[in-house]
Amino acid sequence: MAKANDKTLKIWILRLVPSGRFGRWISAAVILLLGLIIYGVAAYSWSRARGDVFRFPSWPTAAFFTCAVAYIVPVFHYITKRSLQTVEGLKRYLPEPVAVQTEKQIEYRSVSWLARSTLAAVVLWLLQSRLLAGSWQNMWDILSYSMLDLCLSIGPLPVWLTMCVAMSALLRNAIYFRDLSKQLNVNIYEPDSFMPIGSMAVTSTLVVLGALGLLSIMWVGGPVNWWTTLPAIAFFSPLLILLLLVPVLPLRRQLVAQKEDAMIAAQAAVREAQRLPSQETVAAMTNALAFRREVARLPSWPFDVPAITRFVSYAIIVPLTWIGAALIEMLVNAVVT
């Protein structure tokens, strides 16, 4: 939590997306263009120095760095806007001060929080660079060797910066929604009082699943260097579970308790119907059994069919991209050799 005197600022990733209908697309296009220019110039200087302008061996890595940032920025903006819409839709089930506070917390963070997230990104980048180089001296030599080596060495830093800020913000938002869920006036017979949080939790996994899918870009063009991918996989996997479950677990407990109470009432209605005179038993029993059947169908998780379908669709994309990368690599090798 931010201290009382700690100034809050809008999360800087959100400022990278211009307002307007196509703001997210514009942001992605600009980032891709900048990446093309930076790595294009670096690759050209490398090629000129070696007398071969057409062979650039590190394009998969450069493409991943650029695509990762171009993906994270607009998707984080999209998730943030969806989160705000979720709070707006739940306002009639919430105390007004709680809704207003949550809306502000979703978009704004303290200066100290932003500083900690930036420091974490720099540390992770340094550790990854050290692992790849083998030693701190080798890392420095690589940074000072050529413009291409400098770009490829610095390239992971923007990825770590955007990812650390985005993931830290989404995890904090998950905690905010967890706290908000405890104050929701949840009614198991009104899906609108809890289903939006489940939908929002599924949407928040887009950053993680998309980033995992983009890792396959680095696998095209040569053998996989697992030191470049294992840290990211280890970083993403637990976050995926946390983003999905943290906001909904309080709702799960409430829904289970309400469903148990409803089932007790339904069973009582069945027993009451059995005690009625025979001429009234059939109609009463029919209604009681229908009530019990509907209670059994009530959800015990705040996920409806569309939300579950979306999550499965998102998750399937990851192995499909990895398979696609492997097939492309096999095709390239077959053509070259």
pLDDT number for residue 25: 94
pLDDT number for residue 53: 45
| Mean pLDDT of the residues in the chain | 83
Query: What is the b/e burial string over 235-261, where b = at least 16 CB atoms within 10 angstroms of the residue's CB?
Result: bbeebbebbbebbbebbbebbeebbee
Between 66 and 149, where is the model more confident? 66
209-256 pLDDT, tens digit per residue, is 888 888 877 777 655 555 556 666 777 788 888 999 999 999 999 999
pLDDT number for residue 288: 87
**Percent of the chain topping pLDDT 90:** 39
Q: Residue 330: which pLDDT band, with cuts at 50, 70 and 90?
A: low
CA atoms within 13 A on the CB side of 141: 7
7-53 pLDDT, tens digit per residue, is 889 999 999 999 888 999 999 999 999 988 888 777 777 666 555 54
> Which of 78-87, 135-144, 305-314 is the least confident region?
135-144
pTM of the model: 0.84
Beta-bridge mates of residue 9: 109
In this structure, the dihedral spanned by the alpha carbons of residues 143, 44, 36 and 72, taken in order and rounded to 10 degrees, is -30
Three-state DSSP class for residue 104: helix
Contact 170, 208 (CB under 8 A): no
Spatial separation of the C-alpha atoms in residues 209 and 318, rounded to whole Å: 7
Report which of 192, 6, 32 is spatially closest to residue 115, judged by C-alpha positions: 6
